[in-house]
């Protein structure tokens, strides 16, 4: 299955540690991504909420304005998605930090970021199948989910909280 799943282990471990440090040190965390990348980050937002972190999904009606001490966590394979780049510019102007998960280390989003986690996956328009046989940005989006879960797990272990401590933050309206 080599090319089908790619080599997620090639992501820079130091940048993942730096991402965890940024999230842990942020006053509030805002997540944003377009399309499937955005859906993947919404999963991360939910897990960060389970840790008790103040986290918001950009675009929701209850999301406050970003400011100094906050972190904008974005995912964009290309690092050029215009709405996400604009949000990162606004965040930086407001004194917030930006963390990006991307395939493009040399991109406008990477240039705006404090931390860039570069994923060795095919770009959305790469049809060569050299990085992955999957369609479009599928591998990138899947790795965004895994990075989000790994981030949650690292922060959870740092917190010392038990699973029972986190459980009351799960939705109970079902």
> Looking at the annotation, which residues are catalytic?
141
Beta strands per DSSP E along 41-81:
55-57, 71-75
What is the SS3 assignment for 118? Answer: strand
Q: Which residues are bridge partners to 82 per DSSP?
A: none
- SS3 for 113? coil
Sheet holding 115-118, edge to edge: 55-57, 29-33, 71-75, 97-102, 115-118
Asked whether the beta carbons of 144 and 33 are under 8 A apart, the reply is yes
Q: What is the DSSP string of 15-27?
A: HHHHHHHHHHH-S
**76, 99, 100: which is closest to 26 by C-alpha?**
99
């Amino acid at each position: 299955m080599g090319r089908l799943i790619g080599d997620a282990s090639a992501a820079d471990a130091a940048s993942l540690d730096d991402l965890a440090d940024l999230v842990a040190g942020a006053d509030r965390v805002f997540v944003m991504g377009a399309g499937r990348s955005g859906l993947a980050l919404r999963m991360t937002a939910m897990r960060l909420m389970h840790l008790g972190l103040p986290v918001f999904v950009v675009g929701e009606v209850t999301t406050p304005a970003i400011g100094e001490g906050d972190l904008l966590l974005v995912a964009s394979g290309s690092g050029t998605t215009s709405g996400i780049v604009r949000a990162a510019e606004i965040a930086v102007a407001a004194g917030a930090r930006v963390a990006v998960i991307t395939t493009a280390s040399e991109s406008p989003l990477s240039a705006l970021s404090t931390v860039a986690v570069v994923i060795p996956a095919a770009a959305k328009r790469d049809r060569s199948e050299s990085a992955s046989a999957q369609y479009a940005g599928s591998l990138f989006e899947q790795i965004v989910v895994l990075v989000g879960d790994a981030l949650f797990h690292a922060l959870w272990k740092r917190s010392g909280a038990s699973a029972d401590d986190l459980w009351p933050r799960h939705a109970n309206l079902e």
